[in-house]
Amino acid sequence: MKLAALAKQLRSVLGEEAVLHHPEDLMLYEYDAGLAKGTPELVVFPKTTEHVSAIVRLAGARGVPIVPRGAGTGLSGGSIPRQGGIVMVFSRMRRILEVDVPNRRAVVQPGVVNLELSQAVARYGLYFAPDPSSQKASTIGGNVAENSGGPHTLAYGVTVNHVTGLEVVLADGRAVQLGGKAGEHAGYDLTGFLVGTEGTIGIVTKVVVKLSRIPEQIATLLAVFQTAEDAANTVTSLTAEGITTSALEMLDGWTLRAVEEATHAGYPIDSGAVLLIELEGLREEVEEQAEAVARICMAHQAREVRRAKDERERQLLWIGRKNAFAAIGRLAPSYYTQDGVVPRTKIADILRFIDGVAKKYGMTICNVFHAGDGNLHPAILFDLRDAEQVEKVHAAGREILTRCVELGGTLTGEHGIGMEKNELMPVLFNDDDLEVMARMRSAFNPNELLNPQKILPAPRSCREGVISMQSAAGVEQ
Amino acid sequence: MSAAPSRALSLELAQIAGEENVREKAEDLRHLEIDGVTPACVVTPQTVEQIAAIMRLAFNHDLVVVPAGGFTQQAIGRIPSRIDIVLRTERLNRVEHYDPGDLTLSVGAGITIAQLRRVVDGNRQLLPIDPARSERVTVGGAIAANASGALQHRFGSIRESLLGVRFVTADGRIAKAGGRVVKNVAGYDLMKLMTGSFGTLGVLVSANLKVFPAPHQYRTFVTEFVSLHQAIQYRDRILQSPLSPLCLEIASPEARTMIPDGGSRGTWGVYLRAAGSDAVLARYRQELGTDVAREGGGADEEMFWRTIADWADLWAQSQNNCALLRVSVPSSAVENALRSAATLAGNTGVHWGALGRATGSFLIAFSAAESVERLVTMVNAYRNALGCDSMAVITHCSTALKQHIDVWGTTPTDLAAMRIARKALDRKQILNRGRFLI
Amino acid sequence: MSTASQTGSAEQRSGFRSGAGPSWDLYSTCIHCGLCLEQCPTYRVLGLEADSPRGRIYQVLQVDQGNLPIGNSFVTHIDRCLGCLACETACPSGVSYGQIVERARAEIEKSYRRPLLARIARRYTYNKLLKSFGALSFWATVLYLYQQTGLQKLVRWSGILKVLGLENTDALAPPVDREFSFSDLGKVFPSEGEERTRAAFLIGCVASVSFSELNRATIRVLQKNGVTVFIPPKQACCGALHAHAGFRDDASDLARRNIDAMLSDKIDSIVTNAAGCGSTMKNYANLLANDVRYSAKAQAFAAKTKDVSEFLAELGLRAPQRKLHASVTYQDPCHLAHAQKIRSAPRELLKAIGADLIEMPHSDYCCGSAGTYNVVQNQLSTKLLAAKMEDIASVTADVLATANVGCVLQLRVGVQQRGLKMRVMHVIELLDEAYRQT
């Protein structure tokens, strides 16, 4: 074992059970929920901030890279080691340290599971608003690293809007506090900056989150359309007419059929698309808006607009949506999900474009996405065992993302850049933009031992080489 | 105190921005004085490229640059030792992009909040940023100072509406972060870093913002209480109710004397602003019950909220020797924060007033005619009373007071970590040198 | 890039040589999304990917691809699975995890050599003890005498169990009833009032010796509801424990015996009060899919099999004369909630007899009983029980009800150790109590 001496040191600090080094154990940390692969040389399980500091110091002294990992539900390879080294797993650092009901704050360790937190504070009428589809398993630390969103991002914002303070271990092993429970603090908003940096600036060891109040009334509507175009136009009209939905999701026909088979949520399988629309707030407000939504949907040739009768029906509709991607897994041996964003006035345009790409490459592309904020998730179906298809999938994905950027959008709305898209960053940012970001990284992470080769592209001189290596790897996979 | 730049330098500046846009005569600079320090020159470039060229020049010659928009927030900060260039961004005042259907827009950093408000008003949309002096404060200035107003209660502070930024770095690179769309996690979130950085990390040149559909009608409910405790209880009742007002402000008895709310003397005020249909407003009435003293709408109501936004300025103009503090505490600490202000002000013989978000971010004014010492004692004692997880930054005071007291106060955020960020983007510290808290 | 399916192909040199192991089409539906992780009891306790459903499937894939031997590491992690199937409930891709693990265990039994003692014990338990009611009856009598003669008290007092590390295991040994259900074999119990339907009742192997009273209660409740109850004389153990442990051939033998003994045109349903038995019997079709003679019969058998709560809820419960005045919290047995997707039936029955149903948090998290798990994986099981007791202690109820004998035993230990004042009962026992109260 290459890092035997380091492993021994780590064991003496963390205990025997907290360090894995056998190949049969390490292989379990070479994947996440995406396709990226990379095997660590050591896996460690800290339980305290002091453990994290010690690991960072010991690894730093030997120049060994560290990649933090929550539940491994990420989709862009944020928790995959690209250069071996250490994977630091937070599954045993998962205590809710404090629930401050009057201030609507909770202080949690990074390994706390998103949904567990909401369940733990439900008795106070509170919940943690960011709701990624992975919320059953994904950790708050992971949500912070990726700045996770979810269907309700539309009304409540992504993770960064719900974090007011952090404790972070920096590259030198020092644990520092950033922000706290108050809304504002003097000095730079390093808390806000750190969210979404995927462990490339520091390792989060404590999070102060905002808790939100469970609304008085929730209405969940399902609008059924003959075509995806009608559904897309409805989204634009809802936005234009000032309807503030808390969630506005679109599922196309392909997805509907897969989801219905998996969950029996009552989705119509013979339609072109549905919109799943949620309204929250004061009873009176919700009722008025629900009427307006139904009217606007019907004006765009909706076949029907159905409203969930009770909490059970509501949950069922959402289970269908939240499990949509995994349900797509039933349609083909493999699929590749993209995460582009376009302005909400361009949804119909991009759907047409995606349709064209599907035809051009002779592939099926399912669309299930956060229409309310223009965040697309086209899922390209293929068979991983067919090298030719794999190449086509990469090309189709790149075309779609490039088009998103051309339409005024971006490369990722919530999955993060990670190692999936760091080489695509130049599509969106020029050299100066990237240089400034790189300066921030090297200021905090001077030897690039914290999650190396993520977010930012390799320096320009080596970029060409990396791209060709990556596509070669893609063919292999 | 200031070292005049060489003639050669002025020429270079004139070459970059045009002679007519560079001023170095004393009479043109007097109104740009900061804490008694007169800048050596002021330049008002027309383009982002000119700003980049100016910054390269400044970087190479180690010139201290003060980026400035409407010059409304320059009272904030420590006393500078030298200012070589005041760099005004007011000419970058174009609406670069506005997609009403997407509820997003991109604007030059030099556009004023009031101008921008008029643009979105035309599309029946709402800009969720309402700082004081909106006719003068620029978007860039509001971001740099993290200025906010009463709408913060519903929409959060400026950081929540800022989708993207473009800025010029200390060494003259034009960089951007974020984007135009409402959801975006590509690259580092430098928008958060820029917000509240007081121009120490770069010169903001444009911003992409999120707007909201404008409500069809507004109503304001004024409630008054003889004690602070009752006012806080009422606030808690609202926070625990299903209501979600646009604004929820608390005003101390002294602050209320400046607000045309028709209230009785010596009482605390709570101002709640709601929007929605008749049915929704009826529900507000039902929930708020008989506590409400007055209710208003229409143009008067608009004016009322303008006055609230400008309240602290009115105070500062009408009182000699005063200090304005921007305070932020957790919601449950508001009552104590206001009570200690009252107690300490009574003990030190200081006149005081407070108004702002009832949930924890408010402005507090202390004035003590002619006595700097009493103000120093007051501010120090007050900061001690607030504790460490809080903010109490002085946003306005005399230069004399600044010589005795740090305007920034304490912060829970690690200072060394802040220095790392500063060093990364402005290693020579030419932007607002000496004025920030690190 | 996020894609479905864990990479793999069937062409490579598979570590599954015997043909009993899971195949590519079974495990390739896993898209490694990780949604199962938190639902897995062993993952929650150990925090190891290797002890999560996703991780176990990945290890199966690695064995199939020839990258991982069927050695200590693989066997340890597969052994640790409780088979609770909570992951199947969580899985949006419809992965048949239970099938994958059962097959992996079958392969392990064929190609992995366990330590000698373990081999002897497993062979005796699964091939002898649980296959013949005679052997079971003998050992149960021994255990009964151990518990009744004071020997148990003596042994416990001596502390010898602590020395042997068997202390917890001893507490888990089922209390053996004086009368075993074997004496009821072959009997027919007539319905009370008009006959609504006819059912065959599976007495179960462990239940027969330690829960004969529960079996009697079940028969009484069925009779009360107009059911004529047959106890087919030649019935055998259902085979659940064999199948879960990897003895699929033995399980198939038992399935055929039960089909021969219980499937008949005269009988409308086959009823069990043990969730683990019910889920296995409903799965006979899968177990005997390749058996030309039995596959059709197995399908018919599976279609007639009902858990007693499901059976009664579908039939429509006859209300007891007097309501039961008790607050009840209900623990979902894994093999009812996850394997058979039955959640509402037991709750409906409890409400129908007037119980005040109070939901505990995480009612569908495993209690750690899991067949023989609490004996063979005692440390893990103890941790799961401790977590379960936390959730139970967070609610106030008179009765802790569940619908599976293994869970009843485990929860009784938990309640006793924690000193709670709750009665632990099978739902049917509560129904019986409601009917019998005067």
Residue A77, pLDDT above cutoff 70: yes
C-alpha–C-alpha distance, residues A42 and B347, integer Å: 62
Q: Which residues contact C337 (CB under 8 A, 6 or more apart)?
A: C89, C343, C364
**Domain of C148, in residue numbers:** 116-171
Helix-then-strand count for chain C, H and E: 25, 10
**Is the separation of the CB atoms in A54 and A173 below 8 Å?**
yes
pLDDT band for position C14 (cuts 50, 70, 90): confident
C-alpha–C-alpha distance, residues B125 and A431, integer Å: 35
**Per-residue b or e along A165-177, where b marks 16 or more CB atoms closer than 10 Å to that residue's CB:** bbbbbbbebebbb
Residue contact A334–C32, C-beta within 8 A: no
And the tokens for A368? 């299930």
Considering only the beta carbons, identify the residue of C29, C37, C74 that sits closest to A137. Answer: C37
Query: Do C396 and C273 fall within a single domain?
Result: no
Query: Do C162 and C257 fall within a single domain?
Result: no
**pLDDT > 90: percent of chain B:** 88
| CATH 3.30.70.2190 residue spans of chain A | 216-318
DSSP letter (8 states) at residue C285: H
Please state which of the ranges A161-175, B224-238, C154-168, C346-360 shows the lowest mean pLDDT. Answer: C154-168
Q: What is the pLDDT of residue A154?
A: 85
Residue C150, pLDDT above cutoff 70: no
And the tokens for A37? 């692969």
The residue type of A259 is V
Residue contact A91–C39, C-beta within 8 A: no
Q: Which of A61, A62, A57, A27 is nearest to A43 (CA)?
A: A27
Within-domain flag for C346? yes
Considering only the beta carbons, identify the residue of B181, B282, B408 that sits closest to A408. Answer: B181
**pLDDT > 70: percent of chain A:** 96
Best A436, A441, A454, A455 residue to mutate vs chain B (most B CBs within 10 Å): A436
C-alpha–C-alpha distance, residues A343 and B105, integer Å: 11
And the tokens for B174? 């034009």
Q: Does domain A216-318 have CATH number 3.30.70.2190?
A: yes
Considering only the beta carbons, identify the residue of A28, A31, A337 that sits closest to C50. Answer: A28
How many Cα atoms occupy the beta-carbon half-sphere of C33 within 13 Å?
31
Fold annotation for A96-213: 3.30.465
Residue A319, pLDDT above cutoff 90: no
Query: Do C190 and C155 fall within a single domain?
Result: no
For B11, B22, B47, B209, the CA distances from B18, given in Å and listed in that order, are 9, 7, 11, 31
Average the pLDDT over C401-429 and give the result. 92
Please state which of the ranges A140-149, C160-169, C429-438 shows the lowest mean pLDDT. Answer: C160-169
Q: What is the pLDDT of residue A343?
A: 95
Q: What is the pLDDT of residue A276?
A: 94
Residue contact A73–C58, C-beta within 8 A: no
pLDDT band for position C8 (cuts 50, 70, 90): very low
C68: closest chain A residue by CA: A24
Token pair 């190449």: residue: A391
The residue type of C143 is L
pLDDT band for position A477 (cuts 50, 70, 90): very low
C-alpha–C-alpha distance, residues A450 and B168, integer Å: 28
**Is the separation of the CB atoms in B208 and B436 below 8 Å?**
no
Q: What is the pLDDT of residue C25?
A: 82
Q: Which residues contact A289 (CB under 8 A, 6 or more apart)?
A: A219, A243, A244, A245, A279
pLDDT band for position C55 (cuts 50, 70, 90): very high
Residue A37, pLDDT above cutoff 90: yes
Q: Which of B364, B319, C358, B241 is nearest to A281 (CA)?
A: B241
Query: Do C259 and C209 fall within a single domain?
Result: yes
Within-domain flag for C301? yes
In tens, the pLDDT along C418-431 reads: 999 999 999 999 99
Average the pLDDT over B289-299 and give the result. 88
Q: Classify domain A4-89 by CATH number.
A: 3.30.43.10
pLDDT band for position C160 (cuts 50, 70, 90): low
In tens, the pLDDT along B320-368 reads: 889 999 999 999 999 999 999 999 999 999 999 999 999 999 999 999 9
How far is the alpha carbon of A23 from chain B, nearest alpha carbon, in Å?
34
Within-domain flag for C3? no
What is the bridge-based pairing of β-strands A163-169 and A203-210?
antiparallel
C-alpha–C-alpha distance, residues C236 and C203, integer Å: 9
Query: Do C349 and C302 fall within a single domain?
Result: no
Query: Do C105 and C151 fall within a single domain?
Result: no
Please state which of the ranges A230-234, A462-466, B397-401, C103-107 shows the lowest mean pLDDT. Answer: A462-466
Q: Mark which residues 74-133 of A lie under 8 Å from C by CB.
A: 75-77, 89, 91-92, 94, 111, 113, 115-116, 119
Query: Do C308 and C276 fall within a single domain?
Result: yes
- The residue that leads in pLDDT, C368 or B58, is B58
Size of interface A-C (CB pairs under 8 A): 132
Q: Which residues contact B155 (CB under 8 A, 6 or more apart)?
A: B128, B161, B212
In tens, the pLDDT along C271-283 reads: 999 998 999 999 9
pLDDT band for position A27 (cuts 50, 70, 90): very high
Q: What is the pLDDT of residue C260?
A: 93
Considering only the beta carbons, identify the residue of A115, A330, A420 that sits closest to C1. Answer: A420
Token pair 């005399």: residue: B398
Q: Which of A71, A245, A93, A120 is nearest to C394 (CA)?
A: A120
Q: What is the pLDDT of residue C151?
A: 58
Q: Outline where C93-150 has alpha helix (H).
A: 97-111, 116-123, 133-148
What residue segments make up the domains of chain B, in order of their start?
95-191+199-213, 218-296, 322-397
Q: Which residues of A touch B185 (CB under 8 A)?
A: 146-147, 149, 158, 196, 412-417
The residue type of B3 is A
Average the pLDDT over A350-356 and give the result. 95
**Is the separation of the CB atoms in C250 and C242 below 8 Å?**
yes
**Is the separation of the CB atoms in B125 and B213 below 8 Å?**
yes
**Is the separation of the CB atoms in C210 and C278 below 8 Å?**
no
And the tokens for B57? 């020049």
Bridge-partner residues for B219, per DSSP? Answer: B274
Average the pLDDT over C376-381 and give the result. 81
Q: Which of A455, A449, A453 is nearest to A465 (CA)?
A: A453
Q: Looking at C111, C128, C160, which one is the last position of a domain? A: C111
pLDDT, averaged across chain A: 91
Q: What is the pLDDT of residue C146?
A: 61
Residue A465, pLDDT above cutoff 60: no
CATH fold match for the domains B218-296 and B322-397: yes
Please state which of the ranges A367-371, B81-85, C128-132 shows the lowest mean pLDDT. Answer: C128-132
The string of DSSP codes covering B88-151 is E-TT---EEEEEGGGTEEEEETTSBHHHHHHHHHTTTEE-S---SSTTT-BHHHHHHTT---TT
Q: Classify domain B95-191+199-213 by CATH number.
A: 3.30.465.10
Q: Mark which residues 374-433 of A lie under 8 Å from B by CB.
A: 374-375, 408-417, 421, 425, 428-429, 432-433
In terms of C-beta distances under 8 Å and separation of at least 24 residues, what long-range contacts does C160-167 make, across chains too? none
Q: What is the pLDDT of residue C334?
A: 93
Residue contact A341–B332, C-beta within 8 A: no
**Per-residue b or e along A448-460, where b marks 16 or more CB atoms closer than 10 Å to that residue's CB:** bbbbbbbbbbeee
Query: Do C106 and C123 fall within a single domain?
Result: no
In tens, the pLDDT along B231-276 reads: 999 999 999 999 999 999 999 999 999 998 887 889 999 999 999 9
Residue A351, pLDDT above cutoff 60: yes
Please state which of the ranges A210-214, B148-152, C239-243, C265-269 shows the lowest mean pLDDT. Answer: C239-243
In tens, the pLDDT along B128-146 reads: 999 999 999 999 999 999 9
Q: What is the pLDDT of residue C3?
A: 43
Residue contact A325–C28, C-beta within 8 A: no
| CATH 3.30.465.10 residue spans of chain A | 96-213
Q: Which residues of A touch B104 (CB under 8 A)?
A: 343
Average the pLDDT over B380-393 and give the result. 93
How far is the alpha carbon of A284 from chain C, nearest alpha carbon, in Å?
31
Q: Mark which residues 209-228 of A lie under 8 Å from C by CB.
A: none
Q: What is the pLDDT of residue C1?
A: 40
**pLDDT > 70: percent of chain B:** 99
Structurally, how many domains does chain C consist of? 4
pLDDT, averaged across chain B: 94
pLDDT band for position C324 (cuts 50, 70, 90): confident
**Per-residue b or e along B254-264, where b marks 16 or more CB atoms closer than 10 Å to that residue's CB:** bbbebbebebe
C-alpha–C-alpha distance, residues C413 and C378, integer Å: 13
Q: What is the pLDDT of residue C369?
A: 83
| Chain C contact for A36 (CB, 8 A cutoff) | yes
C-alpha–C-alpha distance, residues A304 and A294, integer Å: 9
Bridge-partner residues for B223, per DSSP? Answer: B270, B292
Q: Which residues of B touch A408 (CB under 8 A)?
A: 99, 179-181
Average the pLDDT over C286-308 and give the result. 93
Within-domain flag for C276? yes
Q: Which residues of C touch A330 (CB under 8 A)?
A: 29, 93-94
Please state which of the ranges A119-128, B69-78, C232-241 shows the lowest mean pLDDT. Answer: C232-241
- Cα C346 from chain centroid (whole Å): 16
C-alpha–C-alpha distance, residues C133 and C63, integer Å: 38
Average the pLDDT over C28-43 and give the result. 92
Q: Outline where C65-115 has alpha helix (H).
A: 72-80, 86-90, 97-111
Burial of B123 (0-12, 13-18, 19+ CB in 10 A): middle
Residue B2, pLDDT above cutoff 60: no
CATH architecture, domain B322-397: 2-Layer Sandwich (3.30)
**pLDDT > 90: percent of chain A:** 78
Residue contact C1–A326, C-beta within 8 A: no
Query: Do C226 and C297 fall within a single domain?
Result: yes
pLDDT band for position A384 (cuts 50, 70, 90): confident
Considering only the beta carbons, identify the residue of A24, A115, A336 that sits closest to C2. Answer: A336
Q: Which residues of B touch A409 (CB under 8 A)?
A: 179-181
Burial of C213 (0-12, 13-18, 19+ CB in 10 A): middle
Q: What is the pLDDT of residue C177?
A: 63
Fold annotation for B218-296: Alpha-Beta Plaits (3.30.70)
Sign of the CA dihedral running A197, A201, A206, A212: negative
Q: How far apart are the first and last CA of chain C?
A: 67
And the tokens for A254? 């392909």
Query: Do C333 and C386 fall within a single domain?
Result: yes
Q: Which residues contact B69 (CB under 8 A, 6 or more apart)?
A: B88, B89, B90, B109, B110, B137, B138, B139, B140, B141, B144
- The residue that leads in pLDDT, C191 or A1, is C191
SS3 B13: helix
CATH number at residue C89: 1.10.1060.10
pLDDT band for position C159 (cuts 50, 70, 90): low
Residue C145, pLDDT above cutoff 70: no
| Chain A contact for C25 (CB, 8 A cutoff) | no
C-alpha–C-alpha distance, residues C40 and C365, integer Å: 8
